[in-house]
Amino acid sequence: MCKTAAIPLVIRVDQQTLIGPVTSFPSTLVDVLPGKDLIIIDDGLASGWMVEKETEAIWRFDETDVVHTGDSASRIEDQPQSLQGWQLQLDTDPQISTIGLRALTFVFHPGELSDPDLLRPSLRVIVLGRGETSIDLYSSVLLDYRARRWQTVTIPIDLIGPITGVLFVGNQSGVFYIDDLRLVSVLSPLTATAVTEDQTATPDDFELSQNPPNPFNSSTNISFDLAESAHVELAVHNLAGQRVATLVYGLRDAGTHRLHWDGRDSGGRTLASGLYLYRLTAGDRSRTRKLMLLR
């Protein structure tokens, strides 16, 4: 597995001085970016990665029909006696520099999960380091737990310092699968992020619509139009300009996209009542609108 590295660069400098020619060899450290994605999980756990913590869950690789690429997929089964959920932590040695890396991505398959109407499933993914980058994947926003298909998730990396591991925390009951877990190089294109959304015919322009209902109490709907395929980011900010939730991040096809948001931040916490801004960015174009949350 190729990782970001710092290598010494030595330069020869020839100078003419009052005492004659002088040659020096100053050196510095130069970061070498990864030329490809850094694999964590494919047909197995990549070299340098290890299971640091595994609680209330059985985790193994299965050779079944539920495989995204290769011969097997990572199978996670929640123990029936678990009431507080489960967690799976993968650590890396050596640590991985975030220089040259833009995101963590993986594919998710609901497999044989219990009825999501009985227990609202929650899957939190945390990129560990000095500080954390995390995202909560809810059935109503980023994952469709009823759709028995592979769904791609992309999480932008926003860390200071190296990556030390990846932590999965959830409360699902039953069996589900994760495959193709990797750190995406800045030299690689990002794949689409799975969002519960509908798409209609191609519109003529780039537009972000006002959310209905507005004001809203428990949930609202947001739609946007793309005249052409683009890398899209849709985020919610408070009035101080701080990002509180990322709703869409990844490549989107041309069309009208509609999604449902339940008023929670990226850490899964319920946002307080107030006025918020939601901003859509695609390439060099952006649109911003206001929404009101009333608890």
Task: Give residue-wise pLDDT tens across range 200-239.
Answer: 445 567 899 999 888 888 788 888 888 888 888 898 999 8
| Residue in this structure with the two tokens 């995101």, named with its chain if needed | 103
Side-chain-facing half-sphere of 221: CA atoms under 13 Å? 9
Average pLDDT over residues 66-78: 79
What would the mean pLDDT of 238-246 be, rounded to a whole number? Answer: 87
Cis status, amide bond into 213, omega within 30 of 0: yes
| pTM exceeding 0.75 | no
The residue with tokens 């560990």 is 128
Give the residue carrying structure tokens 């595994």. 54
Q: Which tops the pLDDT comparison, 273 or 73? A: 273
Q: Is 28 in contact with 35 (CB distance < 8 Å)? A: no
* 5-10 and 49-55 beta bridge pairing: unpaired
Which stretch, 97-101, 132-136, 274-278, has highest mean pLDDT?
Answer: 274-278
User: Which tokens hold the place of 139?
Assistant: 């059935």
For residue 165, pLDDT over 80 is answered with yes
The pLDDT of residue 245? 86
The closest of 249, 250, 254, 293 to 272, measured between CA atoms, is 293
* 99 confidence band (pLDDT: 50, 70, 90): confident
Q: Tell me the chain's radius of gyration from C-alpha atoms.
A: 22
The continuous run of DSSP H or E covering 282 comes out as: strand 274-282
What CA dihedral angle connects 225, 293, 144 and 199, to 10 degrees? -10
Per-residue pLDDT of 25-68, as tens digits, reads 776 655 555 667 889 998 889 999 998 876 766 788 776 777 77
Which amino acid is it at 69?
A: T
What pLDDT was estimated at residue 221?
A: 86
Tokens of 133: 């980058």
Q: Which domains does the chain have, with CATH numbers?
A: 38-185 (2.60.120.260), 197-293 (2.60.40.4070)
Average pLDDT, the chain: 76
Name the one residue in this structure whose structure tokens are 């008023």: 263
Report how many helices (DSSP H) and strands (DSSP E) the chain contains, helices first: 0, 22
- Is pLDDT at 271 greater than 80 in this prediction? yes
